[in-house]
């Protein structure tokens, strides 16, 4: 009887475990119809999102489709956030609705999203989609937290043991978790033939190299060779095979599997312009015409190459305008530009639409269309969400630059509209549209405390260009109305903020000066009284500047490529110059020869040591690179460590470490021995 009871309990226990796993599988695995839909999705994220949105039209309430849509984005516009908020408000008992609303806030108000997520986990600690979203959040610059990331990863591995997607974050885990999870990922990949899943072999190989001592790297390469033999039988993983071939030194296979570069219309147009310099203002008309004819011919190829991109259409339009093509032909080309500008989200649509309007004004054709085009331009430029700042990785400087660029484009569009009205003989309207601009510009000043010189310089340039567009347009109107005194002052104001076309602006002022009957002596005094614009003085070459900081090093054990451990005591023993870099970072690669020089010049200092902190995922990639270049300075594998000490991700970066803390920091690299000298100055 006792044995019978034990057997019943065992059967019941197995049944409970089976049901739990079944529930988890149903919860984590998509329904059959969605699974098939997923298999058919394109690889390109933009195309994926377009297909998902199209499917949502017929199934707007489908949780899986909504989740897939949100997981493909890092920021949602207010209209979308509001949609999910209303769904949640209509059915607050639904955790799925609550999750979708919280997920829609990630990137916009991630703190609120985390609050919502905490509420969900209080009701259901194993709710998988919250944990998956938290991987992205706790991996981000602004919310990075390795402990919480590990907790969410552990939960997903338990609740969704067969779900491979979380393993995209595998190398963000610390080394103590890698070995076990790398083994699980290998088992999943060896059981899969899904090309999308098999791309994670690159992540797996990086993790395995990290957990293996250097003495076993040859064993790892043999294992990769076995993986590649299986992968060669599967379509759609050529890039993964090429990466693995590079790791094991099979250059022939890497070359065979590396796909030819995908034609890129932006690169093609840039290369064409480098090969066909735009004619100067003093070049003969024949040269200008030849340029436009070549541009028109090339544009046909660019349109055929990328019919969904705007580049080819705009080049065709500007070429036809330069060739004085019939108005009907220019209008058709302009309509094509406007149409594509509304759909090509990789281009700045409003600017291209304003460009069409500007060409119409320059040519004096189709002026009746210009006000509508400018209205559409301004709607796009002034969109409150046209410039976003993703709070997962905020960049206040970049946000300021983008917003100031839109200020400049706003004023430029108004100036185009004013010129249009002038050509239509509507002078009051030409002046009227300019009237609000001084007040508008007064609210758009350059913020103080810009972090680096280049950002400040670019902000000032955009701001100056905005003011120039206003003053130059007002001067042209005053000049047209024979208001010579006003025009002269307006042109001077334009020159005070923007002197790129100084000679032309001075020539216009000289003409007005003579019309007013003023003397040559007074003219020279007038010219001398116009100083160089302030932004010109900010355009000096970037220099490495060290800032004082205080970031205490955590308890660490880093390893170099030979497996030698570097603890906090080793950093405390000497003043340490640490350069943060990666093999894929081009400025870093330019810096490394000078880092080698720096290490050589300081090698006899007993109180100073020079090390480098590498940010690559795969140590074998680093070793191969160093062997090729012959660098011998210490290289520590420090991706997670260095990330956690950066307030935002930016490399190359140099740290001066004393007494267990980063005390000075510089960003970027100014080529030349000056970087070496300025860095040594920090440790004298």
What CATH number is associated with residue 578?
3.40.30.10
Calculate mean pLDDT across residues 262-275.
88
Q: According to the model, what pLDDT value does residue 144 have?
A: 94
Integer distance in angstroms from the first to the last C-alpha of the chain?
A: 85
Q: According to the model, what pLDDT value does residue 423 have?
A: 96
Q: Over 90: is that where the pLDDT of 518 sits?
A: yes
pLDDT tens for 230-239 read 999 999 999 9
pLDDT tens for 630-655 read 999 999 999 999 999 888 888 999 99
pLDDT tens for 319-335 read 999 999 999 999 999 99
Q: Over 80: is that where the pLDDT of 373 sits?
A: yes
375 and 461 in a single domain? The answer is: yes
**Residue 254 included in any domain:** no
The residue assigned the tokens 């607050």 is: 92
Distance CA 132, CA 607 (A): 46
Distance CA 614, CA 418 (A): 55
* Banded pLDDT at 266 (limits 50, 70, 90): confident
Q: According to the model, what pLDDT value does residue 556 have?
A: 82
Query: If we measure between CA atoms, which residue out of 388, 392, 396 comes closest to residue 141?
Result: 392
Q: According to the model, what pLDDT value does residue 501 have?
A: 86
**Residue 606 included in any domain:** yes
**Residue 344 included in any domain:** yes
27, 155 contact by CB (below 8 A):
no
Q: What are phi and psi of 564, to 5 degrees?
A: -70, 135
438 and 303 in a single domain? The answer is: yes
Q: According to the model, what pLDDT value does residue 538 have?
A: 55
pLDDT tens for 203-227 read 999 999 999 999 999 999 999 999 9
Distance CA 108, CA 401 (A): 19
Q: Which residue would you say has higher pLDDT here, 260 or 67?
A: 67
Q: Over 60: is that where the pLDDT of 452 sits?
A: no
Q: According to the model, what pLDDT value does residue 34 have?
A: 86
* Banded pLDDT at 395 (limits 50, 70, 90): confident
Q: According to the model, what pLDDT value does residue 14 have?
A: 37
**Residue 294 included in any domain:** yes
For the beta carbon of residue 391, count every other beta carbon within 10 angstroms. 20
The count of structural domains within the chain is 3
**Residue 369 included in any domain:** yes
445 and 553 in a single domain? The answer is: no
Calculate mean pLDDT across residues 283-301.
95
**Residue 194 included in any domain:** no
470 and 572 in a single domain? The answer is: no
The residue assigned the tokens 């116009």 is: 530
664 and 554 in a single domain? The answer is: yes
Q: Over 50: is that where the pLDDT of 446 sits?
A: yes
Residue at a domain's end among 417, 445, 474: 474
Q: Is the peptide bond before 652 cis (omega within 30 degrees of 0)?
A: yes
Q: Residue 409: which residues within 8 A CB-CB, separation 6 or more? A: 350, 351, 354, 377, 381
Within the chain, how many helices (H) and strands (E) appear?
33, 8
455 and 581 in a single domain? The answer is: no
Strand partners, 566: 558
pLDDT tens for 90-146 read 999 999 999 999 999 999 999 999 999 999 999 999 999 999 999 999 999 999 999
337 and 431 in a single domain? The answer is: yes
pTM value? 0.85
Q: Which long-range contacts (CB under 8 A, 24 or more apart) does 84-87 make?
A: none
469 and 557 in a single domain? The answer is: no
Half-sphere exposure of 210 (CA within 13 A, CB side): 31
Q: Over 50: is that where the pLDDT of 26 sits?
A: yes
Domain residues for 634?
547-681
**Residue 665 included in any domain:** yes
Residue at a domain's end among 474, 507, 531: 474
Strand partners, 661: 552, 658
Strands 608-614 and 653-658: unpaired
For the beta carbon of residue 411, count every other beta carbon within 10 angstroms. 23
140, 392 contact by CB (below 8 A):
yes
659 and 568 in a single domain? The answer is: yes
Q: What percent of the chain has a predicted confidence (pLDDT) above 70?
A: 93
Q: Residue 234: which residues within 8 A CB-CB, separation 6 or more? A: 193, 195, 198
Q: According to the model, what pLDDT value does residue 449 have?
A: 56
Q: According to the model, what pLDDT value does residue 455 have?
A: 54
Strands 557-560 and 565-567: antiparallel
Distance CA 22, CA 19 (A): 5
Q: What are phi and psi of 661, to 5 degrees?
A: -145, 150
294 and 393 in a single domain? The answer is: yes
Q: According to the model, what pLDDT value does residue 448 have?
A: 63
Q: Residue 132: which residues within 8 A CB-CB, separation 6 or more? A: 71, 152, 156, 165, 166
Q: Over 90: is that where the pLDDT of 454 sits?
A: no
Half-sphere exposure of 584 (CA within 13 A, CB side): 7
Q: Over 70: is that where the pLDDT of 409 sits?
A: yes
Q: According to the model, what pLDDT value does residue 374 have?
A: 97
Q: According to the model, what pLDDT value does residue 543 have?
A: 58
449 and 579 in a single domain? The answer is: no
Q: According to the model, what pLDDT value does residue 341 have?
A: 93
E strand intervals along 144-273: none
Half-sphere exposure of 265 (CA within 13 A, CB side): 21
Calculate mean pLDDT across residues 572-592.
92
Q: What percent of the chain has a predicted confidence (pLDDT) above 90?
A: 69
Range in 42-56, 406-420, 648-662, 669-683 the model is least confident about: 669-683
Calculate mean pLDDT across residues 457-475.
90
pLDDT tens for 543-560 read 567 888 999 988 888 989
Calculate mean pLDDT across residues 619-624.
93
Q: Over 80: is that where the pLDDT of 447 sits?
A: no
Q: Which residue would you say has higher pLDDT here, 572 or 196?
A: 196
**Residue 420 included in any domain:** yes
Calculate mean pLDDT across residues 300-315.
94
311 and 417 in a single domain? The answer is: yes
Residue at a domain's end among 441, 459, 474: 474
Angle between helices 502-515 and 484-497 (to 10 degrees): 160
């Amino acid at each position: 009887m006792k044995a019978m009871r034990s057997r019943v309990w065992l059967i019941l226990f197995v049944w409970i475990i089976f049901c739990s796993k079944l529930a988890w599988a149903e919860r984590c695995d998509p329904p059959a119809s969605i699974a098939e839909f997923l298999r058919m999705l394109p690889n390109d994220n933009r195309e994926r999102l377009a297909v998902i949105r199209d499917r949502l039209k017929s199934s707007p309430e489908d949780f899986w489709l909504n989740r897939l849509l949100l997981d493909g984005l890092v920021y949602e516009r207010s209209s979308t956030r509001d949609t999910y908020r209303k769904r949640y408000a209509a059915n607050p008992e639904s955790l799925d609705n609550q999750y979708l609303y919280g997920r829609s806030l990630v990137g916009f108000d991630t703190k609120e999203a985390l609050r919502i997520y905490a509420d969900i986990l209080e009701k259901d600690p194993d709710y998988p989609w919250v944990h998956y979203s938290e991987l992205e959040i706790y991996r981000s610059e602004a919310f990075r937290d390795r402990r919480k990331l590990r907790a969410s990863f552990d939960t997903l591995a338990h609740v969704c043991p067969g779900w491979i997607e979380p393993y995209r974050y595998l190398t963000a885990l610390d080394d103590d978790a890698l070995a076990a999870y790398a083994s699980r990922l290998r088992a999943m990949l060896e059981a899969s033939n899904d090309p999308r899943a098999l791309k994670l072999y690159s992540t797996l190989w990086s993790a395995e190299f990290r957990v293996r001592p250097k003495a076993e790297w040859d064993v790892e390469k043999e294992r990769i060779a076995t993986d590649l033999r299986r992968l060669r039988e599967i379509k759609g993983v050529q890039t993964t095979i090429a990466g693995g071939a590079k790791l094991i030194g099979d250059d022939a296979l890497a070359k065979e599997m590396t796909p030819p570069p995908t034609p890129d219309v932006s690169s093609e147009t840039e290369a064409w312009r480098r090969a066909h310099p735009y004619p100067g203002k003093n070049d003969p008309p024949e040269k200008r015409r030849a340029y436009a004819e070549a541009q028109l011919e090339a544009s046909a190829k660019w349109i055929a190459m990328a019919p969904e991109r705007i580049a080819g259409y705009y080049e065709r339009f500007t070429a036809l305008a330069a060739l004085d093509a019939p108005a009907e032909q220019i209008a058709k080309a302009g309509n094509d530009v406007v149409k594509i500008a509304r759909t090509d989200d990789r281009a700045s649509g409003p600017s291209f639409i304003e460009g069409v309007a500007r060409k119409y004004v320059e040519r004096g054709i189709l002026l009746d269309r210009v006000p509508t085009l400018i209205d559409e331009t301004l709607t796009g430029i002034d969109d409150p969400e046209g410039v976003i700042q993703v709070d997962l990785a905020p960049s206040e400087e970049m946000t300021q630059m983008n917003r100031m660029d839109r200020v400049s484009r706003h004023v430029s569009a108004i100036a185009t509209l004013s010129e249009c009205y002038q050509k239509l003989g509507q002078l009051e309207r030409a002046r009227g549209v300019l009237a609000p601009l001084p007040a508008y510009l007064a609210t758009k000043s350059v913020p103080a405390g810009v972090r680096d010189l280049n950002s400040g310089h670019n902000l000032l340039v955009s701001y100056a260009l905005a003011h120039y567009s206003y003053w130059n347009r007002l001067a042209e109107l005053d000049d047209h109305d024979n208001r010579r005194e006003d025009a002269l002052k307006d042109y001077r104001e334009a020159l005070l903020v923007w002197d790129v076309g100084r000679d032309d602006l001075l020539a216009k002022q000289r003409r007005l000066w003579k019309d007013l009957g003023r003397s040559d002596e007074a003219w020279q005094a007038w010219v001398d009284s116009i100083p160089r614009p302030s932004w010109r003085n900010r355009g000096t070459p970037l220099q490495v500047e060290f800032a004082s900081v205080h970031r205490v090093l955590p308890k660490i054990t880093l390893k170099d490529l030979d497996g030698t451990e570097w603890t906090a005591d080793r950093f405390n023993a000497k003043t340490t110059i640490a350069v943060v870099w990666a093999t894929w970072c081009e400025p870093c690669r330019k810096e490394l020869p000078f880092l080698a020089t720096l290490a050589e010049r300081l090698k006899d200092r007993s109180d100073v040591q020079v090390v480098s902190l590498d940010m690559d995922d795969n140590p074998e990639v680093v070793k191969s690179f160093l062997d090729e270049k012959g660098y011998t300075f210490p290289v520590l594998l420090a991706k997670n460590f260095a990330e956690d000490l950066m307030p935002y991700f930016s490399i190359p970066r140099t740290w001066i470490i004393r007494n267990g803390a980063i005390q000075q920091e510089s960003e970027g690299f100014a080529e030349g021995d000056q970087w070496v000298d300025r860095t040594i100055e920090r440790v004298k």
